[in-house]
Structure 1
Amino acid sequence: MSSQVQLPKEFYPLMEELQVVDFVLVELTLYLDTHPEDYAAIQQFNDASYHRRMLVPKVEQYIGPLQQFGNSYSGYPWNWNQAPWPWQI
């Protein structure tokens, strides 16, 4: 059993913001699947997507890469196997 990793207090508001943006993106994706010509929703999706792209590096500086398959960079040494895991935060 691993011990809980303590992260700096600055990390938690960033992670919460990322979770909010991810929720918005999931909901807009579902909406746009049935309303593909809603221009305002597409703009909201693109704005949220841009916001996520700017936010991810800030979160990753604390916990390392969030996504595999080339969507996030790895630090040295390879840090995909390092805690904290998402469920440990």
Structure 2
Amino acid sequence: MMCGCDDKLLQAVYETGFALDEATLYLDTHPNCPIAMQYFQNARRMNRQAMKAYEEVDGPLQVADADSNNWNWINGPWPWEGGMR
């Protein structure tokens, strides 16, 4: 069951993922912009940190990140159980 802190962790994943996507799109049209590349690298680092913080509390966000020794992908709440907001 998700507590309020989990909502904040997931929100950080969404926000940093959005920043990463926007930086990627900008770099597609401005590949030689050093400021954009620096922004992209920072957004990527922040997104990885946000994902790691969320996964430490609630488990993997993507099936590819499920533990290979223990099928923990199914341990969290399903969308109809409040797993997605």
Fold match (TM-score > 0.5): yes
Report percent identity of matched pairs: 34
Cα offsets for 1:22-57 (capped at 9, x unmatched): 001111111101110111011000001111122212
| TM-score with structure 2 setting the length | 0.78
Decide whether the 8 Å contact of 1:18 with 1:55 is kept in 2. Answer: yes
The answer to whether the aligner puts 1:61 opposite 2:35 as a matched pair is: no
The answer to whether the aligner puts 1:38 opposite 2:33 as a matched pair is: yes
**Structure 1: any 5+ residue segments left out of the alignment?**
1-5
Aligned CA RMSD, in angstroms, stands at 2.2
Deviation at 1:78, TM superposition (A): 1.0
2:46 maps to amino acid: H
The answer to whether the aligner puts 1:74 opposite 2:70 as a matched pair is: no
Deviation at 1:61, TM superposition (A): 2.1
Decide whether the 8 Å contact of 1:14 with 1:58 is kept in 2. Answer: yes
Higher helix share: 2
Could you tell me how far apart the structure 1 residues matched to 2:24 and 2:60 are? 23
| TM-score with structure 1 setting the length | 0.75
Deviation at 1:64, TM superposition (A): 1.1
